[in-house]
């Protein structure tokens, strides 16, 4: 009986470590998806602004798509530089909301 209790106690830290690693992996994946969504909306807004400024539609789309790579890099670096999970989620939620609002106000497809 004592032997089974000892083995159960020895397994607890491994289980907690595995759950913690899975949680951090899920957190990182969710932040990446939210950053990607914010980047998509910023690319929409950039393309619309460039087109309305007089650029040919094809050139506006290509320029906005190229800017999207820079947007995503900057957003991901910024998101993972935040301290704490709640700050990351708050910052990404605000950024995504602003990007969606900008694309919607400019008449983009949301």
Mean pLDDT by 10 residues, the chain (110 residues): 55 58 83 91 92 94 95 90 81 89 80
**What pLDDT score does 45 carry?**
92
**What pLDDT score does 86 carry?**
82
- For 96, the 3-state DSSP assignment is helix
> Interior CA angle at 86 toward 91 and 15, to 5°?
135
Using alpha carbons, select from 66, 32, 34, 33 the residue that is nearest to residue 47.
66
Report the C-alpha gap between 94 and 71 in whole angstroms.
16
**What pLDDT score does 52 carry?**
92
Report the C-alpha gap between 31 and 88 in whole angstroms.
8
pTM higher than 0.75: no
**What ranges do the domains of the chain cover?**
28-105
**What pLDDT score does 109 carry?**
63
Return the structure tokens found at 7: 């083995």
**What pLDDT score does 6 carry?**
56
């Amino acid at each position: 009986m004592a032997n089974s209790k000892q083995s159960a106690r020895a397994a607890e830290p491994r289980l907690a470590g595995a759950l913690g690693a899975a949680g951090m992996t899920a957190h990182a994946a969710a932040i990446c998806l939210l950053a990607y969504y914010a980047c998509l909306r910023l690319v929409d807004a950039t393309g619309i602004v460039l087109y309305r400024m007089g650029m040919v539609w094809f050139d506006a789309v290509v320029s906005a798509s190229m800017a999207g790579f820079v947007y995503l890099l900057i957003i991901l670096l910024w998101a993972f530089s935040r301290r704490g999970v709640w700050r990351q989620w708050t910052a990404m939620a605000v950024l995504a909301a602003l990007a969606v609002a900008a694309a919607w106000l400019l008449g983009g497809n949301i």
